[in-house]
Amino acid sequence: MTLNKEKLVVIGNGMAGISTVEQILKLTTRFDITVFGSEPHPNYNRILLSYVLEGSKTFDDIVLNGWDWYKENGITLHTGTTVSHIDGAAHEVVTENGERVPYDKVIIATGSNPFILPIPGSDKQGVIGFRDISDCQQMLEAAKSYKKAAVIGGGLLGLEAAKGLVHLGMDVTVVHLMDDLMERQLDHQAATMLKAELERQGIKFAMGAKTVELFGDERVAGLRFADNTVLEAEFVVMAVGIKPNVAVAQASGIWTKRGIVVDDYMQTSMPDVYAVGECNEHRGVCYGLVAPLFEQGMVLAKHLCGVDTLPYEGSVVSTKLKISGVDVFSTGEFIEGPEHVVIAHKDEWKQTYKKILLKQNVMVGAVLFGDITESANLQKLIKQKTVMTDEIYDSLMGTGCCGGGAKSSASVEAMADEEIVCGCNGVTKKTIVDAITDKGLTTVDEIKACTGATRSCGGCKPVVEQILQFVLGDGFKASVKQGICGCTTLGRDEIVAEIRAKGLTSTKEIMHVLDWNQPEGCSKCRPALNYYLGMIYPDTHEDEKESRFVNERMSANIQKDGTFTVVPRMYGGVTTPEDLKKIADVSLKYDVKVVKVTGGQRLDLIGVKKEDVPKVWEELGMPSGYAYAKSLRTVKTCVGAQFCRFGTQDSMSMGAFLERKFERLDLPAKFKMAVNGCPRNCAEACTKDIGIVGNDGGWEIFIGGNGGIKARLADSLCKVKTDQELIDLCAAIIQYYRETGKYLERTSEWVERMGLETIRKAVVDDMENRKALVERIEFALTQVKDPWTKMLNDTDTRTALFQNLEPAAQ
């Protein structure tokens, strides 16, 4: 603590309080700052919790200010400490454990709490809100043990929670009281398109459903609705809204309504005490979105530092949905009335929708779906109460004949210095301009590293580029389009098209003709190009071993100690005593450290010395399980109709057949299958790239499952009646994935990118296309140097061979 400094105490270690502190530190060093946070963490970005939940970010990725930041700025931080009240007479902040800290100024930034419905059962185990990292961690744990989840609330938080739980492999139903999702931010058209898209991604919906009870014993077992219907659920997330956390203010005698009442400079009814963010109420409004808290924080910071500032007069709020595959934006007024002029465009082919509302020719609101590139520009125009003109209309609705670069520069020039560009991180236009001029920054990535703008959701990137262009003028260079790696700006589809159009036949030729930045490529692009060449030219491409990963070159997986794991193939998880004896003898001879039974129903021989790998394979005399390859790894099976009293189909024979048929064929990424003899699903088809479930009438095929770090339940593609239909459809699916998948893209990501309906049309509905896909994969299989594959592609012997698998399996 430094003498002669004013003592500033911040109650709340979240985004509102700490962003205000950041602004204060830029303006003055007059304060000795103490921060109290109830959570045991440094300051983190709550709006990115959905990314942590779905697995694309870790907690460390969303930390805004790490522990060192507090030390470097002389801030005293108390985590895991809750303030009980403020003693205004003594000018002290009092914690729940009785500690008293003197102050000259106090900022209350306690945020909000999730609203929990006051219904029977809301206190049961397995019922939580979705507001902080601990809620996120509870969801991650629940997904390991439970399968059925319900999210009550179809607003922004509810949909983000639902998508995250679906990614974790849960069966998720969103229960919403209203008929439209996000009815406070979207009109009926956008809400309808959003629901259809989220259904395609695996979320179920119960619309117009009023939850009156959560039933079960100690743990929740389901929901009961007002019409007395029920929904089973082992885990329930309540996302029906938030309420300002006013506990400290109320305990201190500070005036509160719904929130802590503040004036235009965030002053509360208690002298020297201010409130910022979701906990406050300004001019009768409580804001639950991030941009207003930054705007409030800047006004408060200047006011506390004695810097002239305009008062805070409220915010024009906007909403952006932050879940993969869905782009939705709204700002201002979005439901048209008789006083509005409506400008709207819907494109059903590209699944986009744009609506702008005018009132007396002034832009007052907008809704975007599918394409939100104009979101930042629209928000600015609406905030500035811009009058619609023909030029603006042409620019926004895509009817103009010019690029609009001059207008972009003009609009950026008109922005106020203190206008927030990056709402996620509270970065203003002036902060970005100063970084460009003072530090010589020339790229968006440099600005991101320096200021934090674009660091989170990336929605502000177009405006950041416009600011760069405005400041640098002729010195501005547009961002280079990202390709499959840093060696090229070309994407997967462009590269494949160029290979076919120009007849390119080797990775070196591709790199030369297509102007690679690095003449030799890199470890990311070389394997990808080798795969694309093999997929395009299965009969003529000579596999380039030097472009393969080390595991593929060694036919074994390297371990952290430099030894290797050898994995022999066990078709359908079935082996023989003779093969087991071979494995045991070889393991003893070559001092294998561990023999591990895997989840793919085979044995890993772990700890083989590099020089022994060829000899181990030779003495085993068994085919490789390709545990190292971007190809079919395993086909997991249950015992099926051969042995199980519930089995309806011969899953072991079918699994072994499919594994023998498709082994060794190169694919974009590792590939796993499962075949179940009945709907009890013992072989876990729901987490496989292709999962097959037998029933009395035939087979049901599922695709796009993943049990890894980004868990995803497989989607039901279709049902077939015969074994031959099943084999043909598996062939068509695999070939379609081979031809359209990006290198290293798992089917779980491929299905979401392509869309289940697109895949269904290509391999199920379009019989001619299915036949062509089967023909192409059959041709590719004939090129695989494997006698089993050649035999399987001989029509006369395939049926007899398949029939003979049953006694072999036994």
pLDDT digits 0-9 by tens, 620-673: 988 888 888 899 999 999 999 888 888 899 999 999 999 999 988 999 999 999
In terms of domains, do 676 and 709 share one?
yes
Instruction: State the CATH number of the domain containing residue 47.
Output: 3.50.50.60
Question: Under 8 Å CB-to-CB from 368, ≥6 apart: which residues?
Answer: 190, 327, 328, 329, 330, 353, 354, 355, 374, 375, 378
- Model confidence at 482, pLDDT cuts 50, 70, 90, reads low
> Tokens at residue 647, please?
């089995």
**Enclosing domain of residue 518:** 492-548
Pairwise CA distance, residues 131 & 746, whole Å: 31
What amino acid is encoded at 479 in this protein?
A: S
Mean pLDDT across the stretch 668-688?
A: 93
pLDDT score, position 480: 52
In terms of domains, do 12 and 150 share one?
no
Residue 367 counted as domain residue: no
In terms of domains, do 108 and 141 share one?
no
Pairwise CA distance, residues 676 & 651, whole Å: 5
Mean pLDDT across the stretch 520-548?
A: 87
Residue 749 counted as domain residue: yes
Tens-place pLDDT, residues 497-508? 999 988 999 999
What amino acid is encoded at 257 in this protein?
A: K
Residue 338 counted as domain residue: no
Cβ-based burial of 656 (10 A; exposed 0-12, middle 13-18, buried ≥19): buried
Cβ-based burial of 803 (10 A; exposed 0-12, middle 13-18, buried ≥19): exposed
pLDDT score, position 440: 86
The answer to whether residues 731 and 665 touch, using CB atoms and an 8 Å cutoff, is no
Pairwise CA distance, residues 175 & 214, whole Å: 13
In terms of domains, do 105 and 120 share one?
no
Kindly write down the DSSP assignment for every residue of 491-510, as one continuous string.
-HHHHHHHHHHHT--SHHHH
In terms of domains, do 637 and 749 share one?
yes
Give, as one character, the DSSP assignment of residue 447: H
Examine the fold and report which residue of 548, 563, 594 is the final residue of a domain before the chain moves on: 548
Cβ-based burial of 478 (10 A; exposed 0-12, middle 13-18, buried ≥19): exposed
pLDDT score, position 456: 63
Give, as one character, the DSSP assignment of residue 597: E
pLDDT score, position 414: 67
Average pLDDT, the chain: 87
What amino acid is encoded at 608 in this protein?
A: V
pLDDT score, position 797: 43
In terms of domains, do 761 and 637 share one?
yes
Asked if the model's pLDDT at residue 559 lies above 90, the reply is: no
pLDDT score, position 459: 66
In terms of domains, do 718 and 745 share one?
yes
The DSSP element (H or E) to which 92 belongs, if any, is: strand 92-95
Mean pLDDT across the stretch 13-31?
A: 94
Strands (E), 639-798: 671-676, 690-695, 698-703, 715-720
Asked if the model's pLDDT at residue 322 lies above 70, the reply is: no
Lowest mean pLDDT among 352-366, 369-383, 545-559, 612-626: 545-559
Residue 182 counted as domain residue: yes
Examine the fold and report which residue of 423, 448, 479 is the final residue of a domain before the chain moves on: 479
In terms of domains, do 78 and 92 share one?
yes
> Tokens at residue 193, please?
């398109």
Pairwise CA distance, residues 176 & 240, whole Å: 9
Residue that is written with structure tokens 């299958």 in the block: 673
What amino acid is encoded at 235 in this protein?
A: F
Examine the fold and report which residue of 479, 503, 536 is the final residue of a domain before the chain moves on: 479
In terms of domains, do 698 and 802 share one?
yes
pLDDT score, position 805: 40
pLDDT score, position 174: 97
Mean pLDDT across the stretch 509-514?
A: 90
pLDDT score, position 464: 86
Asked if the model's pLDDT at residue 404 lies above 50, the reply is: no
Residue 579 counted as domain residue: no
Lowest mean pLDDT among 205-219, 234-248, 251-265, 447-461: 447-461
> Tokens at residue 373, please?
């590139």
In terms of domains, do 660 and 771 share one?
yes
Pairwise CA distance, residues 748 & 729, whole Å: 18
Asked if the model's pLDDT at residue 217 lies above 50, the reply is: yes
Sheet holding 235-238, edge to edge: 127-128, 235-238, 148-152, 171-176, 204-207
Structural domain total, the chain: 5
- Model confidence at 738, pLDDT cuts 50, 70, 90, reads very high
More confident residue, 729 or 453: 729
Lowest mean pLDDT among 302-311, 326-335, 681-690: 326-335
Buried b (16+ CB within 10 A) or exposed e, 527-566: bbbbbbbbbebbeebeebeebbeeebebbbbeeeeebbbb
Residue 372 counted as domain residue: no
pLDDT score, position 789: 39
Tens-place pLDDT, residues 236-249? 999 998 999 999 99
- Model confidence at 792, pLDDT cuts 50, 70, 90, reads very low
Cβ-based burial of 694 (10 A; exposed 0-12, middle 13-18, buried ≥19): buried
Instruction: State the CATH number of the domain containing residue 475.
Output: 1.10.10.1100
Residue 617 counted as domain residue: no
Question: Given CA atoms 793, 799, 801, 806 in this order, what sign does their dihedral have?
Answer: positive
**DSSP-derived 3-state class of residue 34:** strand
Instruction: State the CATH number of the domain containing residue 652.
Output: 3.30.413.10
In terms of domains, do 645 and 758 share one?
yes
The number of angstroms, rounded, from the C-alpha of 90 to the middle of its chain's C-alpha atoms is 49
Tens-place pLDDT, residues 748-769? 999 998 999 999 999 999 999 9
Residue 628 counted as domain residue: no
Lowest mean pLDDT among 45-59, 351-365, 445-459, 665-679: 445-459
In terms of domains, do 642 and 790 share one?
yes
| CA–CA distances in Å: residue 276 to residues 7, 80, 290, 309 | 18, 21, 11, 16
Residue that is written with structure tokens 């201010």 in the block: 274
Asked if the model's pLDDT at residue 190 lies above 70, the reply is: yes
